Amino acid sequence: MAELWRPPALRGAEHANGAPAVSWIELFYDLVFVVAIAGIGHRFIAAPGRASAVEFVVLFGMLWWAWASLTFVVDRFESNDAIDRVLAVFQMFGVAAFAAAASREASLDAIAAPLAASYTITRLVLIAMYARAWWHVTESRPLVGGYLRGFGLDAALWALSIAVPSPARYAMWAAAMAISLATPWLMRRTQARSPLNASHLPERFGLFTILVLGESVAAVVAGLHPDQAHATTLAGAGAAFVVATGLWWIYFDNFEGSVVRRDPDRRHDWRPTAWIYAHFPLAACLAAAGNGMGHLITAGEAHESRALVITCSTALAGALLAMAVILVSTAGGDVASRTRRATARAAGALLAVAVAASGAPLTPAAYLVTLAAILLSQVLFDVTEHARAARAARTLRAEAGVTS
């Protein structure tokens, strides 16, 4: 049960000897993102093209950063009192309003003002959370003070953009996002005094990845609808399920999040930043691929679904490349093995793009089966690589035992 009043405390200091579980409020908070991501995904896939792709990246980026920003503050400063929960609910309200605006069948200019207003709510809630931490956690004031200045300027630009007409509004959005993204980077040397939790934060990113993969599962369900189920859609739905399963397999079989704790002895350690921010293109590409596959399952002839084929190929390639970055930025373990798996991800990305670029006269179902084959090859490579690494580790242990 939540306490009425419990001042924020450093999560790392309080849970130094344990692995803190994700709280129920965090899981409840994630629910609103399911609706929001589905809304902007459907908006993009309804009319795939360069302009809509840019719009999708912008809207998804706003959503992802709203989620990540709150995740970071909750990861560092734990409270879970009534005030903390109320603030999280206000944040959810802002995201829900954002989702409602993005789901409208209207141009971006028509929904820009409500999008900016709803996003301003999420930024103001974030500032309120950091203000509580600044007041109660004195040892973190150098870090939190920098965050308050950066995010405060960011929120002011979002608020002002509500009343500014386009295209100047979008320039303000770009400036606000640049300031917001740069703030943690500029404060990176101070972050070591208030480190991210090496067990809680990766779990949050893993849960968000599962959430986005749900789009692919929804695509399978849509393809299995009784009114649409026949041999072609069943084959496409089955292939889409294989793709989703393969993406889940190769991501979580290589999941290691200890890299998020920045090493204070390495002044220019790029790995935590790369690991965290690579999850944005990963999530965006997974969402686009899931929505694209959903539409391909019930699509007609190949020439009618060319844009969807290009979208799915590009999105799948982007997801595999993001996983490659996550692999090479992960600390510890068998570096050579991780490099080989990252190389396999890059090869899979090239194959996905090559299939779309070839212009082969594949039906949507046949194309989805091809994507499934690419993911199956990734899974088989990882299974083989993990087995090889395990044999090498056993050999080393045996040789060490003989030597001793």
Residue 8: cis peptide before it, omega within 30 degrees of 0:
no
pLDDT per position as a tens digit, 306-343 = 888 888 999 999 999 999 999 998 866 678 888 999 99
Mark whether 186 and 234 lie in a shared domain.
no
Mark whether 144 and 211 lie in a shared domain.
no
For the chain, 404 residues long, the average pLDDT of each consecutive 10-residue run is 70 49 82 88 80 91 94 85 88 93 88 95 95 90 94 97 93 96 87 73 89 83 68 85 94 77 60 88 94 81 70 94 93 80 96 88 87 96 88 77 60
Q: Which residues contact 137 (CB under 8 A, 6 or more apart)?
A: 8, 9, 10, 77, 144, 194
Query: CA distances (Å), 303 to each of 104, 110, 144, 200, 310, in order?
Result: 28, 32, 54, 46, 12
**Furthest-apart CA pair in the chain: how many Å?**
75
Residue 4 lies in a domain: no
What's residue 274's pLDDT?
A: 87
- Residue where one domain finishes, among candidates 135, 160, 191: 191
Mark whether 167 and 222 lie in a shared domain.
no
Q: Tell me the C-alpha distance between 367 and 357, whole Å.
A: 12
Mark whether 371 and 253 lie in a shared domain.
yes
Mark whether 104 and 238 lie in a shared domain.
no
Mark whether 255 and 387 lie in a shared domain.
yes
What's residue 263's pLDDT?
A: 56
Query: CA distances (Å), 226 to each of 112, 219, 229, 234, 242, in order?
Result: 38, 14, 5, 11, 20
What's residue 16's pLDDT?
A: 45
What's residue 284's pLDDT?
A: 95
Whose tokens are 């999105």? That residue is 315
Give the mean pLDDT of the chain: 85
Mark whether 179 and 249 lie in a shared domain.
no
What's residue 230's pLDDT?
A: 75
Residue 1 lies in a domain: no
- Residue where one domain finishes, among candidates 139, 160, 191: 191
Mark whether 347 and 240 lie in a shared domain.
yes
Residue 40 lies in a domain: yes
Mark whether 130 and 75 lie in a shared domain.
yes
Number of separate domains in the chain: 2
Sign of CA dihedral 174, 176, 182, 184: negative
What's residue 13's pLDDT?
A: 41
Residue 120 lies in a domain: yes
Residue 223 lies in a domain: yes
pLDDT per position as a tens digit, 6-64 = 777 777 544 444 444 677 888 888 889 988 988 888 888 777 778 888 999 999 999 99
Domain membership of residue 65 as a residue range: 9-191
Residue 3 lies in a domain: no
Angle at 344 between CA 338 and CA 346, to 5 degrees: 105
Mark whether 329 and 287 lie in a shared domain.
yes
Mark whether 343 and 220 lie in a shared domain.
yes
What's residue 17's pLDDT?
A: 45
Mark whether 389 and 315 lie in a shared domain.
yes
Residue 70 lies in a domain: yes
- Residue where one domain finishes, among candidates 141, 170, 191: 191
Distance spanning both ends of the chain, measured CA to CA = 54
Residue 209 lies in a domain: yes
